């Protein structure tokens, strides 16, 4: 029987294409247009060529913010991925506690970013915050408004509190999809707990872990609201991440040209690192498979 070729299904994709065009492609094109021009407002633009890119590439401010951002994302991934997997492995698999754990784990994910920032800003205060007050009572010198180390610890712990559940829930979904036959076979072979994890659970979780790594990397690399609310990028500029710096430049100083050049480079770095993660993990998956 001859196969029917029908291309009409492509029309079903049209709404998504229109949505993506208006929410991503057209704004990105506009940013590219801004990056090669200068403006003083009133929708008047003057050709600047590659000047803004050159200026940004030779500006220590951007490199410092990029360094801080990479460090932040690396720390976040190193903590959240293993911790999320550990929590998922220890979550109950059957009974009443499954629903209870799932609801409790989902709670931090439902809180808006600015509220999370406000919660931790108050929580960490030495005068009225439970965390700050307790640490001060224990004799620990903790003040996130004046000590860069304390500020970093605060925003990292805050992010871990906010987002580890996502990794745990994804890993849990991956674990639940493993058929019992695999565990039975491992039992017959008298495999150790580590071997079960290494040769059954981890390979089977690889797909969802890849999504978790990508989501957490992209989210942490674009983080803005929580550190902005807690530290405002300070003390000094020690917690000024790329997005905070970018907003200061684009909206605070109204330097649209340099901010557009900055945005494009920011976008390219995210694209590169996401592609590397995706490629490495899908290839690992294929080799394991």
Strand pairing report for 45-47 and 37-39: antiparallel
Site for another protein (CB under 8 A): which residue of 23, 33, 114, 184?
33
Phi, psi of 37 (to 5 degrees): -135, 165
**What span, in angstroms and rounded, lies between the C-alpha atoms of 34 and 47?**
9
CB 103 within 8 A of CB 168: no
Region near another protein per CB under 8 A, out of 153-161, 176-184, 242-250, 278-286: 278-286
Identify which of residues 177 and 283 has a Cβ nearer to another protein in the complex: 283
> What is the token pair recorded at 286?
């294929």
Interaction residues for another protein, span 36-65 (CB under 8 A) = 36-37, 39, 43, 45, 47, 50, 53-54, 57-58
> Should residue 34 be labelled a site residue for another protein when binding is judged by CB under 8 A?
yes
**Distances in whole angstroms, Cα of residue 31 to Cα of each of 10, 43, 78, 241, 264:** 29, 14, 33, 20, 8
User: CB 56 → another protein: shortest distance, Å?
Assistant: 9
> Should residue 268 be labelled a site residue for another protein when binding is judged by CB under 8 A?
yes
Site for another protein (CB under 8 A): which residue of 29, 71, 74, 109?
29
Site for another protein (CB under 8 A): which residue of 19, 21, 24, 26?
26
User: CB 283 → another protein: shortest distance, Å?
Assistant: 5
3-state class (DSSP) for residue 38: strand
> Should residue 254 be labelled a site residue for another protein when binding is judged by CB under 8 A?
no
How does DSSP classify residue 19? H
Q: Which residue has the tokens 């690399």?
A: 221
CB 151 within 8 A of CB 241: no
Give residues in contact with another protein (CB under 8 A).
Answer: 26, 29-30, 32-34, 36-37, 39, 43, 45, 47, 50, 53-54, 57-58, 265, 268, 271-272, 275, 279, 283, 286
């Amino acid at each position: 029987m001859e196969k029917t070729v029908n291309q009409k299904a492509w029309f079903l994709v049209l709404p998504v294409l229109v949505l993506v065009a208006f929410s991503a492609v057209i704004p990105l094109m506009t940013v590219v247009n801004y990056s090669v021009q200068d403006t003083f407002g009133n929708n008047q633009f003057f050709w600047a060529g590659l000047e803004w890119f050159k200026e940004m590439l030779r500006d220590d401010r951007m490199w410092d913010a990029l360094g801080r951002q990479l460090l932040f994302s690396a720390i976040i991934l190193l903590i959240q991925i293993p911790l999320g997997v550990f929590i998922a492995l220890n979550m109950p698999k059957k009974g009443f506690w499954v629903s209870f754990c799932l609801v409790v784990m989902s709670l931090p994910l439902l809180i808006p970013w600015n509220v999370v920032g406000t919660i931790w800003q108050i929580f960490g205060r030495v005068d009225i915050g439970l965390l700050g007050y307790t640490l001060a009572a224990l004799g620990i010198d903790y003040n996130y408004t004046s000590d860069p180390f304390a500020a970093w610890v605060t925003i990292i712990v805050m992010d871990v509190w906010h987002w580890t559940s996502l990794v745990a829930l994804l890993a849990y979904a991956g674990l639940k999809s493993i058929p019992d036959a695999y565990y039975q076979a491992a039992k017959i072979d008298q495999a150790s707990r580590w071997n079960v994890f290494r040769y059954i659970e981890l390979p089977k979780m690889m797909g969802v872990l890849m999504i978790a790594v990508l989501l957490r990397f992209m989210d942490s690399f674009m983080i803005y609201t929580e550190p902005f609310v807690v530290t405002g990028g300070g003390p000094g500029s020690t917690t000024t991440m790329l997005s905070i710096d970018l907003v200061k430049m684009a909206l605070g100083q109204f330097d649209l040209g340099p901010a557009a050049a900055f945005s494009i480079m920011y976008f390219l770095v995210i694209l590169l690192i996401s592609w590397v993660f995706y490629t490495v993990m899908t290839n690992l998956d294929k080799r394991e498979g």
